Amino acid sequence: MKQYALTLDLKDDPQLIAEYEQYHRQVWPEVLAAIRQVGIEEMQIFRTGNRMFMLMQTSDDYDPVQAAEYFKSDAKSQQWEQLMDKFQQRLVGAPADQKWVTMDCCFQLSSQ
């Protein structure tokens, strides 16, 4: 199993944040199927203010580049991403084509 941590900001608007969370209470079944199809086994998204943190656990053969290509070719995933773009804003310094930014692990208790 692999693990990935990613971050993203939402637009700092309480109404938009509430709407974003409402969509995530009922993610479209086709989007959930696509997430599982690429090898993502568990995904959790946490929020404080407008900062988001995503923790993903994936299969050992999960490839983020291949997953991104799959999502780009999947019409329903693209529709979802376009809808979510209304709520999301890129982190300062993030590449223009990248919303979720991978985080590096800087501490792990089990290795101490």
pLDDT in tens, 99-108: 999 999 999 9
Q: What is the structure's pLDDT at 77?
A: 97
What does the mean pLDDT of the chain come to?
96
Mean pLDDT of 21-30: 98
Superfamily of domain 2-104 in CATH is: Dimeric alpha+beta barrel. (3.30.70.1090)
Residue 1 identity (one-letter amino acid) = M
pLDDT in tens, 74-108: 999 999 999 999 999 999 888 888 899 999 999 99
Q: Is 88 helix (H, G, I), strand (E, B) or coil?
A: strand
d(C-alpha 107, C-alpha 112), whole Å: 9
Sequence-separated contacts (24+) of 58-61 with Cβ below 8 Å: 58/1, 58/2, 58/3, 58/4, 59/1, 59/2, 60/1, 60/2
Give the residue from 98, 91, 81 showing the smallest Cα distance to 9: 91
Quote the distance between the C-alpha of residue 79 and its chain's center: 15
Domain spans, the chain: 2-104
Q: What is the structure's pLDDT at 40?
A: 98
Q: Which parts of the chain are beta strand (E)?
A: 2-10, 40-48, 51-58, 88-89, 101-102
Residue with structure tokens 């700092």? Answer: 12
Of residues 2 and 93, more confidently modeled? 2
Mean pLDDT of 46-62: 97
In this prediction the pTM is 0.91
